[in-house]
Structure 1
């Protein structure tokens, strides 16, 4: 990339010593070397030329000494990449079937967000592909495959609850936006 880093990128790169040794200016090449990714990956990430993985964003964030959320913000991602999810210690007490069901539930949440355009994709907000065999309808299929009617019912209920919870969140966000708009409208009329 011929364009020199500017703004927050340049500040973080200077602080992290991701600079050209010849002139001391922030360098995409040096950042790529420190982050252990290719320069073309950095170039594509910054320019929005192709999808950037969460792993790459984490590597770049680590090299710069900033959070993955900060790098996501600089890239203009609609949904920031955060640190990897770690289940609570009690998850060790779950059966393999229960773990699989929770994994599918998490995928259902992510799939719903991706369908709405807020998924984790490239810097331009393009949704990433949903992993094969995942999605909101996959959870009940696991229970059906187990052959246990109780598991099937539980899985269907969990999936439905996840969808309802997601919709409740979206409804609450929309209501907050409407209230803010009404408040702005009233504030503008009284001047």
Structure 2
């Protein structure tokens, strides 16, 4: 087996009958740089690890997933129930704020605001990095917290957040939309 590191991701190569198959075996930081900033009801701002100017003390994300489902009738396509909020899943390396996040989970402490920022090349302009999307969670809480060892990367954590309100914004266009979760996931 051969290994290769590309952009922080470790790839493994297996050769079968002269065909080489590459598979990612360790996660890399998000392809589109993403950062999180948590403000807890009692603990205040949760400390992050990022030292980059303008993003000080934020947390770098290695993965992000968010899903909302609108149940539909297969025959007519008509809505058949309330929109289901599946929560927001974040993946990051264990760091300065990990103990505070764990504390928020075990004490049922809410986050007044969780700010997620996603960066990349803008659709127009110089090609310099710009914020492509932001997501703000209001009255959020941790539904799940998991730590695990990732070979070649180190200790990682997966967070699943529920929220009362989610606002998604495209800073380039100024367009935003919000949804409220009437019941926790």
Fold equivalence (TM over 0.5): no
Compute the TM-score of the two structures, normalised by the length of structure 1: 0.22
Identify, as 1 or 2, the structure richer in helix.
Answer: 1
Flag the structure with larger Rg: 1
Query: Which structure has greater strand proportion?
Result: 2
Q: Bigger relative contact order, structure 1 or 2, given CA contacts below 8 A and separation 6+?
A: 2
